[in-house]
Amino acid sequence: MSLSINEVKEKCTQNKYFSYDSWEDRLFILPAMYLVWVCIRLGISGNAVSWLSAFVAIFGAFLLTSDDSLVVFIGSFGYIGWYLLDYVDGAVARFNGKGSVSGQYVDWIMHVIAHVATVVGIMIGAMSTTGAWIYPFVILGIIASSLAYAKFSMAWFAICMEQQQRRAKGYDILEEDKLPASLAVDWFGFKYIRGFTILVFHETHLVFWLPLIALFQLFQVIELIDLRIVFTVLAGTVYFLVQVLETHRLVVTKKIEKGYSELFSSTHHPDLPDDHFFK
């Protein structure tokens, strides 16, 4: 089978809901299409690429725990390796005509594995260079990194559970006009704190600045402190606080109930990805 990269890209983008139009897409899509071409030639499935991406992130996380700055620098590319392969798995599945709900599930699980592994790797590295005082920040940071995805996935699990229970009891769908009133939430300065945590911890940004910070550490541009310690303290304070408050806000603003109603409504047109994340 003789295929050009353009042919691979054209077929991989067919039936893709989101187009490759962000600056991250433009940066990653070309190398991703070469990897897609390799996977197709080798007969590697989309799900196999997904699992490979997780192992790349996990291996990088192991290296991030090292006391050797060069090893840490090499490990910092594990997360960006996962990020690149995240473009590949779905494209391979679409090329082979094997896109599925199961494939989407595996893909999202890899996001959780990659993010939590990377955060934990950084924090274990911080633990190796400091004392027991940092342990509470590590525990809270792990909870925060897990909540970053769990707060949405468990919300959709709750929505599905509610609908299953209502169907089992023969109840109608809970209409939006019958939902309990939501509580307006406008915490002072929260959006700025949340924006800061997105810049530091969200995968879209972390994959880029992590190698840069590791490079600074390698050449001792910042000599006074191991920046993994700074990351861990921020994870256990600001990141944890934001994730807890965001979880609470989903509840008090009735966003989950609204998501339930819109999912099963015959009149609501999905607004993606905002509907995914209850925005």
Query: For residue 18, what is the enclosing H or E element?
Result: none
| DSSP code at position 172 | P
In this predicted structure, what is the pLDDT of residue 221? 64
- Write out pLDDT tens, residues 79-121: 999 999 999 999 999 898 888 899 999 999 999 999 999 999 9
* % of the chain with per-residue pLDDT over 70: 95
Residue with more model confidence, 31 or 19: 31
Kindly report, residue by residue over 130-153, the tens digit of the pLDDT: 989 999 999 999 999 999 999 999
Q: What pLDDT does 39 receive? A: 93
Band the pLDDT of 55: cuts 50, 70, 90.
very high
Say whether domain 5-264 belongs to CATH 3.40.50.300.
Answer: no
Tens of pLDDT along 165-189? 989 998 888 776 666 667 777 788 8
Check pLDDT > 90 for residue 230: yes
CA 194, CA 27: separation in Å to the nearest integer? 26
Exposed/middle/buried for residue 116 (C-beta within 10 Å: 0-12, 13-18, 19+): buried
Classify residue 271 by its DSSP letter.
-
Q: Where are the alpha helices (DSSP H) in the chain?
A: 5-13, 23-42, 46-64, 69-75, 77-95, 101-127, 135-169, 190-201, 203-218, 227-234, 240-252, 255-264
Write down the pLDDT at residue 76: 97
Residue 1 has pLDDT above 60, yes or no: no
Q: What are phi and psi of 181, to 5 degrees?
A: -65, 140
**Domain map (residue ranges) of the chain:** 5-264
pLDDT at 144: 98
Average pLDDT, the chain: 90
